[in-house]
Amino acid sequence: MFFSLFILTVQSQLLLGAQFNRVAQWERFEASLTSANSYANPLQEIQVEVDFFSPSGKKQTILAFWDGGKTWRVRFSPEEIGRWTFSTRATLASDSGLNGRQGEFTCVPYTGKNPLYRHGALRVSDDRRYLVHADGTPFFWLADTAWNGVLKSDAAGWEKYLKERACKGFNAIQWVTGQWLGWRGDEKGQTVFSGRERIRVNPEFCRRMDARVDALNDHGFISAPVLLWAAVWNEKEAMENPGVSLPEDQAILLAKYFVARWGAHQTVWILNGDGDYRDENAERWKRIGRAVFAYSQNRLATVHPQGLNWVADEFRYESWLSFIGYQSCHFDSTQAYLWHVVGPPAREWKTDPARPIIDLEPQYEGYRIPPGPGETNAYQVRRAAYWSLLVSPTAGVSYGGSGIWPWALRHEPPMGHPGSAIDPVWSEAIRMPGSMERKHIHDLFASLEWWKLRPAPELLAMQPGDQDPRRFIALAKAVKSDWLLAYLPAGGAITFRAEGLSRPMVVRWFNPRNGKWEVEAAVKPGTLVLTSPDNNDWVLWLGPARK
């Protein structure tokens, strides 16, 4: 495997030879501490901060976390080559095992093949429209929503799932950190935390989760955990979700524990899941975000609101918010489609300060809530993905499928979703057609300088979506370039404005169902109408002839 974890006992570190004090850049350094005191509930009684000093003198402060008994651990991902030092600071200075400890290690260049470490941690691009690695390499977000995957999977199943997803080009996995309305505990009744007014964490269960999170990065996936699920569909279900049921101070403690435990992984944090974050709720979540991400190791963070809920205005000036996450909709409705293609995702990307925009939960394949019109099919899922990628500046998109997100082990409706369609088991669901077609999306955008794309609906003389939003043509043009990309959900004609094609061009048609470029033809100057090969959905590329 690509990853090698460096573990060191702080008390003996300075006595060890230099060859033992090495960790590769962007990987994980880990040190253990042994408390001098015993604590009935360490999460509530003491906090341990660790100051890391880089070779250039920069300081980062992160939290250590309790890992059972008298054991505490600190995990850190170094971004600079050279000698690092660190020191600990506990809120109870009398605990000599946790307070005032010092150590050092050397960060060496990474020499493996894992792109997460070859290119470094994610950040926002300089123009604030998409994500890049530390070295500037663009990162096209292609995530799967395996919400229960880390919580429910066994080692063999998780390995199978990650290998399968890697083959399709997925590069991030969204998951939930603790119990919520979709998972209330394992077969033994174990949960990640317990209580409400003074919660307790279960380090034994979290150690089991460590292996799954390690595997994410080992296979080249960004780990994208939801810290606090916050759905408020009704009062009973809301109380299953820590983002709603826990008092603010306890929600902060729990989220900070997760950040301390998994923040050294290559991670993008999702603060909350599926909630309403407007009005007075926004102020609460701002406070939580500021408290939690003060210790985030410079990792990106976002929010995940409920469907058709745009909260960018509420969080736009929060320094911890790296990009705008949204949830389009699971339902086949005119209202939902209009919101998606001409509503906030398509309209508000020009508002300053700019941030990348990513649909974290579009239509789910196989999803149905009776008495709906039927299960969402691969075509609807595919259409939603291309809309998401082209109505805002292209940054990426997520996928979801019935059976996968709940990590279904039996053919039954998902927990917390009574009346939903019966899910396939996860090992069957990973082969659903829309899931297979994600590789085509990956291959298409990997062949293009996708980070240059900006929505350009003004180039169209006619928009079929004006009569039926299901036929909305999404079109984006590359900045400082002369090529464009358009998605025609029902094929047919695409009509440009008279000034659109003033020079010889080439049109190429990409089949999103099989991933093949199937037609290429020259286009004369003055051409206003191009017609797809048939009435299925197609992706059009229009640009200069290849040399």
> Would you call 457 helix, strand, or coil by DSSP?
helix
Rounded Cα distance between 61 and 51, Å, is 4
Q: Do domains 6-112 and 456-543 have the same CATH topology?
A: no
Tell how far CA 27 is from the center of its chain: 19
User: Per-residue confidence at 371, pLDDT binned at 50, 70, 90?
Assistant: low
pTM, rounded to two decimals: 0.95
Assigned token pair, 34: 């042994």
Beta bridge partners of 31: 8, 74
Q: Minimal CA–CA distance to 33: which of 92, 83, 85, 102?
A: 102
On whether the CB atoms of residues 16 and 48 are closer than 8 A, the answer is no
Sign of torsion over alpha carbons 215, 219, 222, 228: negative
Fold of 6-112: Immunoglobulin-like (2.60.40)
Looking at domain 136-449, its CATH class is alpha beta
What architecture (CATH level 2) is domain 456-543? Answer: Sandwich (2.60)
Is pLDDT above 50 for 157?
A: yes
* Angle ∠(46,52,56) on CA atoms, nearest 5: 160
Angle, to 10 degrees, between the axis of helix 334-342 and the axis of helix 378-391?
A: 30
Secondary structure (DSSP) of 228-277: EE---SSHHHHTTSHHHHS-HHHHHHHHHHHHHHHTTSSBEEEEEEEE--
Q: Judging by beta carbons within 10 Å of its beta carbon (0-12, 13-18, 19+), is residue 442 exposed, middle or buried?
A: middle
Q: Beta strands 505-511 and 538-543: pairing type? A: antiparallel
* pLDDT tens track for 458-514: 999 999 999 999 999 999 999 999 899 999 999 999 999 977 666 789 999 999 999
Phi, psi dihedrals of residue 405, rounded to the nearest 5°: -60, -40
Q: Check residue 218 and give its pLDDT.
A: 98
Domain ranges of the chain: 6-112, 136-449, 456-543
- Using one digit for the tens of pLDDT, what is the confidence trace for 185-232? 998 889 999 999 999 999 999 999 999 999 999 999 999 999 999 998
pLDDT in the model for residue 18: 36
Q: How far is residue 179's CA from residue 192's CA, in Å, rounded to a whole number?
A: 7
Q: Residue 17 — pLDDT band, cuts 50, 70, 90?
A: very low
